[in-house]
């Protein structure tokens, strides 16, 4: 199902696969990233000891491409829940005990999506404190146990390959999404407002309630701060 390519150092595993024009099913795994990618063009370094990989997934329809980040967040949350308590912060951050331990980035490329996943596995809490990342942590820092990165990656890839029905994925996502039910700040170029996050639509976009009306929020257009 998957062709796994391994690297020591890369700019980002997403860049590797896009530069190669890699076919669906190709996975790039790296020990370190010098320019890992986050949402809204954020760049960050990824030290050794984490799990950094990307995979090319087929997505023929626009609706499928939009749904992949939701599917990925559910898969990662389920896999990491075997090692530490986990929750999803919309749209695709994975938190444990209130700390971010994983980020996910999906980039469309024709009829496919390059899905990048970065998981903090082994870094001590001091690493995050020293780098001004007080809201982040690692599985090891939170549990005192060193996780099996290869096993976690294989678990996630297996869950993605299962391609579970969307309604099942959405049900799991809703149950584990800590954003729902909270008041959030929606920040757009035109301004910002506060609203209550009440649901997700069929594509995984956030539905908020403001002044008695419902507004659908696209993660690529706004920032959400609970």
- Convert the pLDDT of each residue in 93-152 to its tens digit: 999 999 999 999 999 988 999 999 999 999 999 999 998 989 999 999 999 999 999 999
pLDDT of 43: 47
Structural domains present in the chain? 3-176 (3.30.930.10), 183-225 (2.30.30.100)
Measured CA to CA, the distance from residue 56 to residue 21 in angstroms comes to 9
Angle CA 143–149–155, to nearest 5 = 105
Q: What residues are paired with 151 via a beta bridge?
A: none
Bridging pattern class, strands 3-10 and 26-37? parallel
Measured CA to CA, the distance from residue 74 to residue 62 in angstroms comes to 19
Write the pLDDT tens digit of every residue in 162-208: 999 999 999 999 999 999 999 999 988 888 899 999 999 998 999 99
pLDDT of 97: 96
pLDDT of 225: 65
Helix (H) or strand (E) holding 49, with range, is none
């Amino acid at each position: 199902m998957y062709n796994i390519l391994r690297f020591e150092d890369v700019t980002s595993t997403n860049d590797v696969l896009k530069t190669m024009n890699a076919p669906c099913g190709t996975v790039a795994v790296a020990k370190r990233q010098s320019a890992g990618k986050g949402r809204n063009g954020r760049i960050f370094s990824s030290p050794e000891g984490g799990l950094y990989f990307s995979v090319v997934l087929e997505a023929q329809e626009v609706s499928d491409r939009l749904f992949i980040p939701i599917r990925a967040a559910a898969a990662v949350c389920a896999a990491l829940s075997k090692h530490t308590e986990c929750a999803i912060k919309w749209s695709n951050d994975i938190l444990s005990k209130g700390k971010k331990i994983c980020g996910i980035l999906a980039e469309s490329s024709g009829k496919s999506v390059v899905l990048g996943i970065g998981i903090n596995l082994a870094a001590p809490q001091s690493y995050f404190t020293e780098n001004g990342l007080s809201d982040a942590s690692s599985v090891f820092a939170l549990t005192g146990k060193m996780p099996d990165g290869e096993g976690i990656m294989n678990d996630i890839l297996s869950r993605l390959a299962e391609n579970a029905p969307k309604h099942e994925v959405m049900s799991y996502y809703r149950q584990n999404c800590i954003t729902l039910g909270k008041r959030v700040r929606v920040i757009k170029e035109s301004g910002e407002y506060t609203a209550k996050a009440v649901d997700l639509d069929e594509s995984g976009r956030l539905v908020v309630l403001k002044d008695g009306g419902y507004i659908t929020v696209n993660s690529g257009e706004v920032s959400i701060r609970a």
